[in-house]
Amino acid sequence: MISIRILDTPEEMKEVEDLQRLVWPDCETDVIPVHLLVTAAHNGGLVLGAYQDDKMVGMLFGFAGLYYTPDGPRPKHCSHQMGVHPNARNSGVGFALKRAQWQMIRQQGLDRITWTYDPLLSRNGHLNIGQLGAVCNTYMREVYGEMRDGLNVGLASDRFQVDWWINTRRVEGYLGERKHPALTMVDIEEAACQNLYPVGLRDGFIRPAGPLASPQGNLLVAEIPADFLKLKAADFELAKEWRVFSREVFETSFSAGYLVTDFIYDTSRDRPRSFYLLTYGEATL
């Protein structure tokens, strides 16, 4: 049983510090320190801990921010960091933390939460887009510069910035009592989505096997590696190829008016496969 707690004491923040070192190893300078976590929690920010048998297995940290519109600046919540203990991954901890964040930030009177993540990480795409109902039409190159932690070292720090419109019927459909049904490959095939590029296999890992097609129609589908970290460990040159190619895919699609609206993780066939679904325009919001 996972329990979520709002954290605000130095003792609790020390647990958050320690968990960060497990999740993002080998880069002490990237650990958010106790004093900053406490200050943020006492001044409109949010620090959550996920516990299992009184042991912290997940953390989430965010703070108030601004975004800019033609009518001037508006408030939002910036969700900066979420981490799950390596032994508790794929157990619902991340979803429980984000659902608690959704509940808390709505009580602050805000309607938008943003955060960044690596679009090539299938697990994150499945959670952020496929389970939470966030959307994305913003691709950011090298947003953090050179990163030195064990998960990111050696690759350009390109990221999606996702928008989570927390008061919409769309998000309510993902997090409310009547759950949004998960899309499957059958749905994609029946909808006749445009496949943006073919993929082939190299030593058991997929690779882009053809040029990017010109985006057309209402629905696009883009396949990414099902386990990018495993691919990166086995074939670093292929990982770099995927970074450069996927940058072209999403920058081209976003500039043509598409946004990422769903994620499919398919395990029904000979190998796991991961796909982004992109929709033309913003009608889905």
How confident is the model over 6-30, as pLDDT tens digits?
999 999 999 999 999 999 887 777 8
- Mean pLDDT of all residues in 155-174: 95
Give pLDDT tens digits for 52-95.
Answer: 999 999 999 999 999 999 999 999 999 999 999 999 988 999 99
Q: At residue 147, does pLDDT exceed 80?
A: no
Give the model's confidence band at 127: pLDDT under 50 very low, under 70 low, under 90 confident, else very high. Answer: very high
What domains can you pick out in the chain, each with its CATH number?
A: 2-175 (3.40.630.30), 185-280 (no CATH)
- Mean pLDDT of all residues in 122-134: 95
Give pLDDT tens digits for 219-241.
Answer: 999 999 999 999 999 999 999 99
Q: At residue 285, does pLDDT exceed 60?
A: no
pLDDT at 163: 98
Q: At residue 33, does pLDDT exceed 90?
A: yes
Residue, of 2 and 180, whose pLDDT is higher: 2
pLDDT at 53: 92
pLDDT at 138: 97
Q: At what angle do helices 10-23 and 34-41 cross, to 10 degrees?
A: 120
Give pLDDT tens digits for 204-213.
Answer: 999 999 899 9
- Average pLDDT for the chain: 92
Task: Give this prediction's pTM.
Answer: 0.92
Q: At residue 104, does pLDDT exceed 90?
A: yes
Cα four-point dihedral sign 236, 238, 241, 245: negative
